[in-house]
Amino acid sequence: MNTLYGNVQSNILVKAKQIKLLVCDVDGVFSDGRIYLGNDGEELKAFHTKDGFGIKALGASGVAVAIITGRNSAIVANRMKALNVAHIIQGQEDKLPALIELAKKLAINLSEVAYIGDDVPDLACIEAVGLGICVSDGHPLVMRGANYITFTRGGFGAVRETCDLIMQTQGSLTSATGASV
């Protein structure tokens, strides 16, 4: 089947149509995985506005959005708040228990969850959900465990691609409005 980004197996489209919650890792997914450190300990990360628009549009379409990340960062908290991400879970080196708890809290079955990650700490979550996604420049072990590998790299629109895939299958993509964030 053809999507905006390329041909995708039809079973992926069936899975994407069922998604009620998108959970994202941050480093290597929302960002390119690099962390810039200043002389005074200041930490900087780059986020893509395409991903920001995708998250806002997906949330507006009725799909819940969350992040689960192993690190703690004020930059991440501020960015996610700006994108209206309601569920910001940081400092979780073992992400699967946090994912299971969040799904229970939201009364969403894991088969109705999409998870996008890039590295080994994401693998258990990717394998536990209905639609496990790895960015195109993710770790080879994670690629093997994922249902879907994005055409786009982490930090360069992979989150937007994921949001577009879900919205396209759910019929809400063409109604997305607003500004890039």
Residues 130 and 111 sit within 8 Å (Cβ to Cβ): yes
pLDDT for the residue 179: 73
Domain ranges within the chain, ordered by starting residue = 14-174
Distance CA 138, CA 148 (A): 12
pLDDT for the residue 177: 76
Mean pLDDT by 10 residues, the chain (181 residues): 89 97 97 91 91 95 97 94 96 97 98 98 98 98 98 97 97 82 74
Three-class DSSP category at 131: strand
Give the full edge-to-edge strand order of the sheet including 131-134.
87-89, 64-68, 21-24, 113-117, 131-134, 148-149
Q: What are phi and psi of 73, to 5 degrees?
A: -155, 125
The CATH class that applies to domain 14-174 reads alpha beta
Query: What's this model's pTM, rounded to 2 decimal places?
Result: 0.95
